[in-house]
Amino acid sequence: MNHLVSLALIGLTLVSCKKEDDGFTFVPARDRAEEAPVSTQIIEDYLNTHFYNYEEFQNPPANFDFKIRFDTIAGEFADKIPLIDQVNFKMVPDRVTEGLEYKLYYLQALEGGGEHPLFPDVATLSYEGTFLNTEFTASEYTKLFDSAITPVSFQLTSVVNGFQDGVITAKTSPLPAIEAPDGSLSFEDYGVGAVFIPSGLGYYVSPPNGSVIPFYAQLIFTFQLYASRVGDQDEDGIPSIYEDLNMNQLEEDDDTDGDGLPNFFDSDDDGDGRPTSEEIIARTYVFLDGEPEPTWPVTETEVKRLYDALTMSTTIYTIEYTDEDNDGTPDYLDADS
């Protein structure tokens, strides 16, 4: 079971409930803007008092699994470098409260030789998810709630926002997977990282059903990022990265027809009854190594290219955005065309 598949929390009116003597009373969810600095403080406390196995990454022992492990700076580990001195951060918007931003800390243990996934892509990775237990005893400061030891693939649009924002800071392997006789996959030169997620970019008051995660929990994910491919969540032929029309790196807030389904998840973006897939023209071009690159008319946009090392060929996918009534708005975004 993967909790990560739970859709990211998008809701303004969510409430938690507490049992009273004779029934339930509803408690409004805490104000997100007030909760944000609390989350940051809890995460920074953790980063100040913990370190990771950086020495193993610097000088890998035999059979090292290249996984991040954290421990407390104390006793024999008193002189370790704290995480706070080794992480980076970026500012990330809350998806619910406009104008609210979080400092999202992330760690890059191994860069990876490939490419960064884009935020709406499909990533192949293994990971461990823990939450910070603020009612901790030393041994239970963090609690594991989810993991995948063998590679799994996720739509990055379907995981909690902080994990989506964190994974794209890493790079994939530059090479295809190596398949063992038993069918298991292995990868080389992949990215290894971690992300420290404030509750507002995690589950906030909507932890997955049946999970042990409390409300307002900060999460830590460590991960190995192996591969990624272009995401097209609504399968309309337009990669989701191009459905971010306002180009703010968020897929949730572009909804041309205002039907509540964002374009990346709407098979009829303009709501005119004609599916988007029938209002664009998708073409593919294939050429071999050494052959000149094909050219195409200016009305077509390249959306994806794949290289196949086996056949030594490149496949380029393009889309022509037709505009039948010539009003400057392409048909798939034009309700009257």
311 burial level (CB within 10 Å; 0-12, 13-18, 19+): exposed
Q: What DSSP string describes 27-54?
A: EEPPPHHHHHHHHHHHHHHHHHHEEE-H
Least distance to Ca ion, CB of residue 159, Å: 17
The smaller minimum CB distance to Ca ion, of residues 225 and 230, is found at 230
Query: Would you state the structure tokens that stand for residue 248, as one six-digit string?
Result: 């703010």
Least distance to Ca ion, CB of residue 325, Å: 14
Range in contact with Ca ion (rule: CB under 5 A) among 25-33, 92-100, 107-115, 231-239? 231-239
Report d(CA 28, CA 17) in Å as an integer.
8
**335: closest CA among 261, 256, 280?**
256
CA dist 311 → 170, 284, 286 (Å)? 29, 16, 11
How many other C-beta atoms can be found within 10 angstroms of the C-beta atom of residue 316?
18
The smaller minimum CB distance to Ca ion, of residues 73 and 282, is found at 282
The smaller minimum CB distance to Ca ion, of residues 112 and 231, is found at 231
Applying CB under 5 A, among 232, 319, 333, 337 the residue interacting with Ca ion is: 232
268 binding Ca ion? (CB under 5 A)? yes
Length of the chain: 337
246 binding Ca ion? (CB under 5 A)? yes
- What Rg value do the Cα atoms of the chain yield, rounded? 23
CB 232 within 8 A of CB 266: no
The smaller minimum CB distance to Ca ion, of residues 206 and 233, is found at 233
The smaller minimum CB distance to Ca ion, of residues 128 and 268, is found at 268
Residues 274-313 as x/- pattern, contact with Ca ion by CB under 5 A: x---------------------------------------
121 binding Ca ion? (CB under 5 A)? no
Q: Applying CB under 5 A, what is the total number of residues that bind Ca ion?
A: 19
The smaller minimum CB distance to Ca ion, of residues 67 and 90, is found at 90
Least distance to Ca ion, CB of residue 160, Å: 18
CB 233 within 8 A of CB 240: yes
Range in contact with Ca ion (rule: CB under 5 A) among 32-40, 48-56, 245-253, 319-327? 245-253
73 binding Ca ion? (CB under 5 A)? no
16 burial level (CB within 10 Å; 0-12, 13-18, 19+): middle
CA dist 20 → 30, 55, 209 (Å)? 19, 52, 22
Applying CB under 5 A, among 94, 128, 244, 300 the residue interacting with Ca ion is: 244
189 binding Ca ion? (CB under 5 A)? no
Applying CB under 5 A, among 261, 314, 322, 329 the residue interacting with Ca ion is: 261
CB 222 within 8 A of CB 20: no
The smaller minimum CB distance to Ca ion, of residues 35 and 244, is found at 244
254 binding Ca ion? (CB under 5 A)? yes
CB 164 within 8 A of CB 178: no
Least distance to Ca ion, CB of residue 229, Å: 14
The smaller minimum CB distance to Ca ion, of residues 146 and 331, is found at 331
The smaller minimum CB distance to Ca ion, of residues 71 and 278, is found at 278
Applying CB under 5 A, among 45, 272, 320, 323 the residue interacting with Ca ion is: 272
Query: Would you state the structure tokens that stand for residue 268, as one six-digit string?
Result: 């009829």
Report d(CA 15, CA 116) in Å as an integer.
36
Residue ranges in contact with Ca ion by CB under 5 A: 232, 234, 236, 238, 244, 246, 248, 250, 253-255, 257, 259, 261, 266, 268, 270, 272, 274
